[in-house]
Amino acid sequence: MGLLRTLITILMVAGMTLLLSARAAECVVPSKPGGGFDLTCRLAQKALQGDAVPLHVAYLPGGIGAVAWSSIITQRRSEPDTLVAFSGGSLLNMSLGKFGRANAADVRWVAAIGTDYGMVAVRADSPYKNLHELFEALRRDPANIAIGAGGTIGSQDWMKMALLAKQAGADPKAMRLVAFEGGGESFTALLAGHVQVVSGDVSEAILHLSGDKGASKIRILAVLSDARLPGPLANVPTSHEQGFDITWPIIRGIYMGPDVPEKDYQRWVQRFNSRMTTPEFAALRAAHGLYPFAMTGSQLTEYINKTMVNYGQQVKALGLLK
């Protein structure tokens, strides 16, 4: 009996070890499928493919990231293998108070895996060929042009259009904004004709450039970068080329719960560090429409803190906070 009991114990321990080694980590997309958050988790999943702990993608939409944030800091604070996608827009929404009393110290910032840029797009059959034509129409009859955006007034998609409108002499407050949960929904509405313009991100727009027969389904009027972007958008002019002094970079990355043990946090930091220096990751990042920006751990945390201060100053300047 003693030998049998010992064998059973060994088998149980081996089984538990196998179960733990086969567990899957989770990358939470704080929006519906499609859009930048989904892209971030998909890139992380592919970059970490082949590791002992596979990374699965899950969806927890709501509040432009606020629902996922609340879930992590209230119910899943110490989960060692739960990651959540974030973007510069998440930080802006936090600055606006859209995450409640949240602040950057509420979570652990793991990695920034690339940067995106803002852009303005219309359907391929739209009468608007450039920013000047679009904003001239917005000056004349803003109620006649529906603008699809991820988030409500004060979101980064709204702010991009507001800054452009201000420089064009149009009234930002008169813009007819249609708020969606994320970029995927905005482009679906654009292609269906429910909105006439999308204020979104380059990585989201690239997904809709080609139709079934190779023809582009959308027209990108401008990218909000300092210089033209390489690759499929090389022929798209910047906002600067069209007389608008606006650049809007969007970092994309991953955070974890605040009580994740240090060893687990550092394990994820090192996993991203080891992958983001490889040529294979650079190719993956480019294929996902992102541009180089790699930062992890304490360095990223410091960057986030400075960004939050800058966003706070911007939203106050636009009269969005007292």
Indicate if 148 and 97 belong to the same structural domain.
no
CB atoms within 10 A of CB 150: 30
Residue that is last in its domain, among 186, 215, 242: 242
pLDDT band at 203 (very low <50, low <70, confident <90, very high): confident
pLDDT at residue 50 greater than cutoff 90? no
CB-count burial class (<10 Å; 0-12, 13-18, 19+) for 261: exposed
| Residues 111 and 257 placed together within one structural domain of the fold | yes
In a shared domain, residues 102 and 160: no
13 in any annotated domain: no
Same domain, 124 and 220: yes
Is residue 81, in this structure, part of any structural domain at all? yes
**16 pLDDT more than 50:** no
Among residues 196, 222, 242, the one where a domain terminates is 242
1, part of any domain: no
Is residue 218 over pLDDT 60? yes
Whether residue 17 lies inside any domain: the answer is no
Q: Is residue 237 part of a domain?
A: yes
Angle subtended at Cα 229 by Cα 279 and Cα 145, rounded to the nearest 5 degrees:
135
Domain assignment of residue 211, yes or no: yes
Amino acid letter at 26? E
Rounded to whole angstroms, the Cα distance separating 211 from 218 reads 9
pLDDT level of residue 176 (50, 70, 90 thresholds):
very high
Q: How many domains does the chain have?
A: 2
Q: Pick from 179, 212, 242: which residue ends a domain?
A: 242
Same domain, 127 and 219: yes
Decide if pLDDT at 108 tops 80.
yes
Rounded to two decimals, what is the model's pTM?
A: 0.76
Q: What is the mean pLDDT of residues 180-200?
A: 91
CB 92 within 8 A of CB 315: yes
Whole-number pLDDT of residue 285:
94
- Tokens 């004709």 correspond to what residue? 193
Structural domain contains residue 11:
no
Give the CATH number for residue 275. 3.40.190.150
Residue 168 is inside which H or E element, if any? helix 156-168
**Cβ atoms of 121 and 200 closer than 8 Å:** yes
DSSP string over 7-30: HHHHHHHHHHHHHHHT--EEEEES
Q: What is the pLDDT of residue 27?
A: 98
Task: Give domain status of residue 6, yes or no.
Answer: no
Residues of the domain holding 55: 22-116+249-317
Same domain, residue pair 238 and 121: yes
| CB neighbour list of residue 279: distance below 8 Å, 6 or more residues apart | none
Work out the average pLDDT over 7-30: 58
Does residue 135 share a domain with residue 94? no
Determine the average pLDDT of the residues in 11-40.
70
Q: How far apart are CA 46 and CA 43, in angstroms?
A: 5
Distance CA 5, CA 3 (A): 5
* Residues 227 and 129 both lie in one domain: yes
For residue 306, give both structure tokens. 């400075």
CATH number at residue 133: 3.40.190.10
Long-range contacts of 17-23 (CB under 8 A, 24+ apart): 21/52, 21/53, 23/53, 23/81
Residues 187 and 296 both lie in one domain = no
Same domain, yes or no: 102 and 145: no
pLDDT of residue 204: 84
Co-location of 258 and 112 in the same domain: yes
Rounded mean pLDDT of 187-213? 86
Residues 112 and 122 occupy one common structural domain? no
Task: Give the contacts of 258 (CB within 8 A, at least 6 positions apart).
Answer: 73, 77, 105, 106, 107, 108
